[in-house]
A and B are shown apart, each in its own frame.
Chain A
Amino acid sequence: MDLVAGFFRDLNATTGWNFSIFHDPFDMRRFGSAFLVTVQLAVLSVVFSLVIGIAGAFAQSLRFAPLRWLVNGYIAFFRNTPPLVQMYFFFFALGSITPSVRDDIGMETPLVSNFTWALVALSFFAGAFNVEIFRSGIEAIPRSTIEAAESLGYSKARAYVHIVLPLAFRVCLPSLNNNLVNLIKTTTLAYAIGVPEMLYVANQIWSDTLNVVEMMNVLLILYIGLVSLLVFMMRRWEEAMRMPGYGS
């Protein structure tokens, strides 16, 4: 660790490239926690968006029409409006009507933190795409497969859980992969509502240390790294779950 810090301190002294996050303990600490916030935001919103996707796809398969319209409206709304405006809408508009509490030192703090609002906004944004993705996967399962399951004594629900979902999931993994990559990129929008994620903290650091170009490069490389990691894991998973006889 000292070796790395020493290297970057020398780099700063000799070339003026100031990567303060590697040799300044304060910057290192705050950037480290920002990295964790980004990862948390990404992981949690991936999980919630998957839940929303599955629930939405299930709701669309129901016979109760108003619920279907509601899900369609939700998808149309979130697919065709700017994610940043969605974020503001959640944080400022809905945030203004949720209650706030007084904390220990008497400050008004909203009950729902900006991290939570960012999480909600991102999950709903990515969830809208996930609903469509899961639905297309479920639609790919032919009726005859379900009938075959039923003739083997599966109940409707068990056929859904054991036959339809596992097959549908394999079919939609590639698109899911895309959407999750997109979601990781979208977590930067939390910057706009002051969530201390990587872009936000990088902004603070370059305001303090005036190392805009260095921080920009670090940011780009870290995001590319995160996305590559996700793509790598999803590819591995896709290969492990590959269905013989179709697809590439």
Chain B
Amino acid sequence: MRRPLADNAAFPVLLPPAARVARRLEEERRYALPVVRLDGRTMLVLAALLCLWAGVAEAQALASGQESVLATIFKWTPLISRGFALNVAISLIAMGLGTMLGLFLGLAQISLLPPVRAGSWALTQFFRNAPWLVLLFYCIFVLPFRVTVFGQTFDVPNWLRATIGLTLPVMANVSEIVRGAVQSIPRGQWEAAESLGYRRGQTLREIILPQCLKRMAPPWMNLYAILVMSTPLASVVGVEEAMTLTRGALNAERRGDLLIPMYGALLLAFFVYCWPIARATQALERRWQVTT
């Protein structure tokens, strides 16, 4: 469908708000990530719904003379918390590694050498557009399960290979965040630095990157929240994290009325962990907003 408007017919009325939205959308497109946002009131509504659900299940359990739902959840909490700790560990390691690799890849994307630029661009697009679960499978099956370094043989545990699998998409997304941030700095800054006698590397290190840090922080934290929410994928390839343990606990209990409260509690655990991150991201976004 063609738009029924001539090219020079502008929408003066739509311009200011549309430009604002377009800028935000352009940012979202650059990072190619859904943005995690939250507010406190909806959190309360959700908690109330979950309590209601748990209460109904509780009443049913008591009426049929079984162990109460809350008591069962408490019984399994220590075990599942250990699993959740593994989720957090996986997310921290993947984020650390992914950020380091992604910084290099992102800087390679703005390199002056066309082959480096094209290669890193292709690598970034590849890992950004491949499904996380497929990358995870790739690392689980293709990476060696035993490596020999300097004559020493190490076993590579499943969770570590899964972590590497999650590192790859993180790397690609960090790479885009870096590229986006560097390109969002006005060209004039490069030219001004050049006229003051700065070399390219110096300009990048001393003028461009310090300004980029502020712009990169919110999408970087958002990426971390998304990564945390992707760690249960490791359960699909047999890592004993919170999701696997929850399923194990459910299999051990063999009670249909536990399904909703137990999965609900797991969802709540992730929610509670990611919520402060989402709030902090929003706060930083507001504080560091660049007004142009």
Which residues of A pack against B, CB within 8 Å? 69-70, 72-73, 75-77, 79-86, 88-89, 92-94, 96-97, 129, 132, 136-137, 139-142, 144-145, 148, 167, 171-172, 174-175, 177-179, 181-182, 184-189, 191-192, 199, 203, 206, 212-213, 216, 219-220, 223-224, 227-228, 240-248
CB distance from A44 to the nearest CB of B (A): 18
Interface size class of B (residues with CB under 8 A): 35 or more
- List the B residue with the shortest CB-CB distance to A166: B3
CB distance from A2 to the nearest CB of B (A): 30
Assuming the contacts A80-B271, A140-B21, A224-B126, asked whether A216 and B49 have C-beta atoms less than 8 A apart, the reply is: no
Is B138 within 8 A of A73, CB to CB?
Answer: no
- List the B residue with the shortest CB-CB distance to A216: B138
Is A199 within 8 A of B134, CB to CB?
Answer: yes
Task: Tell me which residues across on chain A come within 8 A of B229, comparing CB atoms.
Answer: 80-83
Is B142 within 8 A of A216, CB to CB?
Answer: yes
CB distance from A179 to the nearest CB of B (A): 6
Is B232 within 8 A of A84, CB to CB?
Answer: yes
Comparing B39-47, B183-191, B211-219, the segment that makes contact with chain A is B39-47
CB distance from B251 to the nearest CB of A (A): 11
Determine the distance from Cα of A181 to Cα of B45 in the docked complex, in whole angstroms: 30
CB distance from A178 to the nearest CB of B (A): 6
Pick from B20, B129, B233, B267: contact of A81, CB below 8 A: B267
Task: Tell me which residues across on chain B come within 8 A of A219, comparing CB atoms.
Answer: 134
Is B259 within 8 A of A96, CB to CB?
Answer: yes
Q: Can you list 11 A-B pairs with a CB-CB distance of less than 8 A?
A: A69-B41, A82-B232, A89-B267, A136-B21, A137-B21, A140-B20, A144-B13, A175-B25, A175-B28, A191-B133, A224-B126
CB distance from A37 to the nearest CB of B (A): 15
Is B263 within 8 A of A92, CB to CB?
Answer: yes
Task: Tell me which residues across on chain A come within 8 A of B12, comparing CB atoms.
Answer: 245
Complex interface residues of chain B between 257 and 284 (CB less than 8 A to chain A): 259-260, 263-264, 266-267, 270-271, 274-275, 278
Determine the distance from Cα of A140 to Cα of B37 in the docked complex, in whole angstroms: 19
Complex interface residues of chain B between 1 and 59 (CB less than 8 A to chain A): 1-3, 5-22, 24-26, 28-29, 32-39, 41-43, 45-46, 49
Assuming the contacts A83-B229, A89-B267, asked whether A199 and B3 have C-beta atoms less than 8 A apart, the reply is: no
Determine the distance from Cα of A196 to Cα of B244 in the docked complex, in whole angstroms: 21
B243 lies within 8 A of chain A by Cβ: yes
Determine the distance from Cα of A171 to Cα of B49 in the docked complex, in whole angstroms: 34
Q: Which 9 A-B pairs have the closest CB atoms?
A: A245-B10, A140-B21, A76-B42, A82-B229, A185-B131, A93-B259, A188-B131, A188-B133, A72-B42
Pick from B32, B134, B247, B278: contact of A220, CB below 8 A: B134
- List the A residue with the shortest CB-CB distance to B17: A140
CB distance from B248 to the nearest CB of A (A): 13
B132 lies within 8 A of chain A by Cβ: yes
Task: Tell me which residues across on chain B come within 8 A of A142, comparing CB atoms.
Answer: 13-14, 16-17
Task: Tell me which residues across on chain A come within 8 A of B77, comparing CB atoms.
Answer: none
Complex interface residues of chain B between 98 and 144 (CB less than 8 A to chain A): 126, 129-135, 137-138, 141-142
Is A223 within 8 A of B131, CB to CB?
Answer: yes
Is A243 within 8 A of B15, CB to CB?
Answer: no
Is B133 within 8 A of A199, CB to CB?
Answer: yes
Is B134 within 8 A of A174, CB to CB?
Answer: no
Task: Tell me which residues across on chain A come within 8 A of B66, comparing CB atoms.
Answer: none
Task: Tell me which residues across on chain A come within 8 A of B266, comparing CB atoms.
Answer: 85
Pick from B18, B134, B263, B271: contact of A246, CB below 8 A: B18
Is A171 within 8 A of B270, CB to CB?
Answer: no
Contacts beyond the supplied A73-B42, A141-B14, A175-B25: 12 A-B pairs with Cβ under 8 Å? A80-B229, A82-B228, A82-B229, A139-B17, A145-B14, A172-B21, A185-B129, A203-B137, A216-B138, A243-B11, A244-B10, A247-B18
Is A79 within 8 A of B37, CB to CB?
Answer: yes
Determine the distance from Cα of A241 to Cα of B4 in the docked complex, in whole angstroms: 10
Is A93 within 8 A of B20, CB to CB?
Answer: no
Is A179 within 8 A of B34, CB to CB?
Answer: yes
Pick from B22, B36, B132, B271: contact of A247, CB below 8 A: B22
- Chain A CB within 10 A, most for which of B8, B232, B256: B232
Task: Tell me which residues across on chain B come within 8 A of A172, comparing CB atoms.
Answer: 21, 25
Task: Tell me which residues across on chain A come within 8 A of B158, comparing CB atoms.
Answer: none
